[in-house]
Amino acid sequence: MLAKRIVPCLDVRNGRVVKGKQFKHLQDVDDPVSLGKFYSDQLADELVFYDITATHEKRHIFLDVVRAVAETITIPFTIGGGIASIDDFHQVLRAGADKVSVNSAAVRRPELIREAAQRFGSQCVVLSIDAKRDNHGSWQVYVEGGRKNTGIDAMAWAKQGVALGAGEICMNSMDADGEKAGFDLDLNRRLASELPVPIIASGGAGTMQDFKDVFDTGVDAALAASVFHFGQIDIPDLKVYLQEQGIPMRGAEV
Amino acid sequence: MKIAVIDYEVGNLANVYHAWKRLGIEAVITRDASVIRDADLIELPGVGAVRDAIGNLEKFDLIPLLEEQVKAGKFFMGVCLGMQLLFEQSFEGGTYKGLGFLPGDIVPFHTKLKVPHMGWNALEFRQDHWLKKNLPKEPYVYFVHSYHKAPAATPDVIATADYGEPVPAICGLNNVLGFQFHPEKSGRVGQQLLKNVVDYVKQEG
């Protein structure tokens, strides 16, 4: 049976991981390769690295990170942040990434999804969406790091993205993000039941129970950052817990 | 131990190279006939569509060379799309003739589950096999594919994964072996499988 995936997400600025605390067996917690390997050794199923470097001139530093990660890490990883063109896709895939996540640029120019899917295959195109609940029981798409409301319906955009060729949807719930009060279950349940591609739920993880609840909505993967980076949840413990709750997990043989 | 990874411009080969490198082997990415003939193991990688893959093997005139090497008993390993090319024909977007090193066809999934079959799934061995050496009880490996080998219950099917039906995951006969999943992306289990291949080829060679 296909296992559900646990996906730690690392924000990288100027080649260094932005948040993180001290881990016992890890000397350089700010090094994306060391931290990525640490999670990989802990049986994380996949990693996401977001480039949040402000300036385009420093892009080559991030590409060096991607290459170093590809050399060292033996699980799939996704690259996101600042992906705006087919050439950006090409560069990170050539550097060794398995998937590329696109967000604002796809809202500006949806054809980017189609072009990337045709050129590189749907399986490596992840449409990442920042969504916020409105007053009418729907969710709206935000861009520019969540600063700008586009007025676009998030469910409709997710469906359009899949129709254009996105192979996966990563839905970041802005209401839940950072609150550690659980994933947005309504949004994820709708996505999982209405879309034919894997859904990665993002935003809101606080406890192990939150992961159980979001997997019960039918999503395929759950992404989180701070609960892992600050050591609040230990991935091996989480996997054993979820396996005991009947959710198929890789590497949780008890 | 010399490994030739066939370079036929299908997919990124860096990950394949790194996986061998982690086992201390400097694989050569090549389509040079003399390097391929000199290798102890030939790997046919591949990501993408079967039409382009077969087209490129023809374009670089690699098919007669690969046939010659397999006939001569060289250990030959296909991965992902490279495994699908080992069979007689593929029905991905038409009908394409494969290399025919293993019996059977490549067909689309008929399932209500999501396609592609993407993510970590556990191998279930159908045979007692040298590849099982030092694997955990539930060996999870990483899959990404929309087509699969059929039928699933033939002597060439070494291991399957459960995705609504038993999906052939490792296939092989004699000196030909295919992994439907990506051992180079399958964590410790993937590395162990590659190590088992190396040990086997060393011992047989």
A156-199 pLDDT, tens per residue?
999 999 999 999 999 999 998 888 899 999 999 999 999 999 99
Residues A41-93 have pLDDT tens digits of 999 999 999 998 867 777 889 999 999 999 999 999 999 999 999 999 999 99
Say if residues A212 and A240 touch (Cβ distance below 8 Å). Answer: no
Select from B18, B136, B190 the Cβ nearest to the Cβ of A70. B18
In this complex, is the C-beta atom of A135 within 8 Å of any C-beta atom belonging to chain B?
A: no
Which of A5, A74, A121 is closest, CB to CB, to B119? A5
Q: Which chain B residue has its CA at the smallest distance from A70's CA?
A: B15
Nearest residue in chain A measured CA to CA from B187: A74
A186 catalytic per annotation = no
Catalytic annotation, pick one of B80, B117, B148, B171:
B80
* Chain A interface, best mutation among B140, B188, B191, by max A CB count within 10 A: B140
Residue A254 reports pLDDT greater than 50: no
Q: Which of B110, B148, B184, B204 is catalytic?
A: B184
Task: Annotate chain A with DSSP letters as a single string.
Answer: -PPPEEEEEEEEETTEESS----TT-S-TT-HHHHHHHHHHTT-S-EEEEE--S-GGGHHHHHHHHHHHHHH--S-EEEESS--SHHHHHHHHHTT-SEEEE-HHHHH-THHHHHHHHHH-GGGEEEEEEEEE-TTS-EEEEETTTTEEEEEEHHHHHHHHHHHT-SEEEEEETTTTTT-S---HHHHHHHHHH-SS-EEEES---SHHHHHHHHHTT-SEEEESHHHHTTSS-HHHHHHHHHHTT---TT---
Segment among A100-104, A119-123, A140-144, A217-221 with least mean pLDDT:
A119-123
Which of A1, A40, A250 is closest, CB to CB, to B162? A1
Q: Which residues of A116-141 are buried (b: 16+ CB within 10 A; e: fewer)?
A: bbeebbbbbbbbbbbbbbeeeeebbb
Say what the pTM is.
Answer: 0.93
For all residues of chain A together, what is the average pLDDT? Answer: 92
Task: Pick the range with the lowest mean pLDDT from A18-22, A144-148, A174-178, A227-231.
Answer: A18-22
Cβ pair A70:B191 closer than 8 A: no
Torsion of CA B179, B180, B184, B188, to 10 degrees: -80
CB contact under 8 A, B14 and A96: yes
Lowest-pLDDT range of A40-49, A103-112, A224-233, B74-83: A224-233
Q: Is A254 on the interface with B (CB under 8 A)?
A: no
Asked whether residue A252 carries a pLDDT value surpassing 90, the answer given is: no
Reply yes or no on whether the pLDDT at A111 is more than 60. yes
Q: Chain B within 8 Å of A123 (Cβ-Cβ)?
A: yes
DSSP result, B70-133 = HHTT-EEEEETHHHHTTSSEE-TTS-EE---SSSSEEEE---SS-SSEEEEEE-EESS--GGGT
Spatial distance between the Cα atoms of A171 and A188, rounded to a whole number of angstroms: 8
Residue B149 has what pLDDT?
Answer: 98
Residues of chain B with pLDDT under 50: none
Q: Do A76 and B15 touch (CB under 8 A)?
A: no
Nearest-by-CA chain A residue for B189? A74
Tell me whether the omega of the peptide bond preceding residue B116 falls within 30 degrees of 0, making it cis: yes
CB contact under 8 A, A75 and B187: yes
Compare A205 and B205 and report the one with higher pLDDT: A205
A130 in active site? yes
Is the Cβ pair B144, A196 closer than 8 Å? no
Does the annotation count B80 as an active-site position? yes
**Is residue A197 within 8 angstroms of chain B, CB to CB?**
yes
For residues A97-107, give the mean pLDDT. Answer: 96
Model pLDDT, residue A99? 95
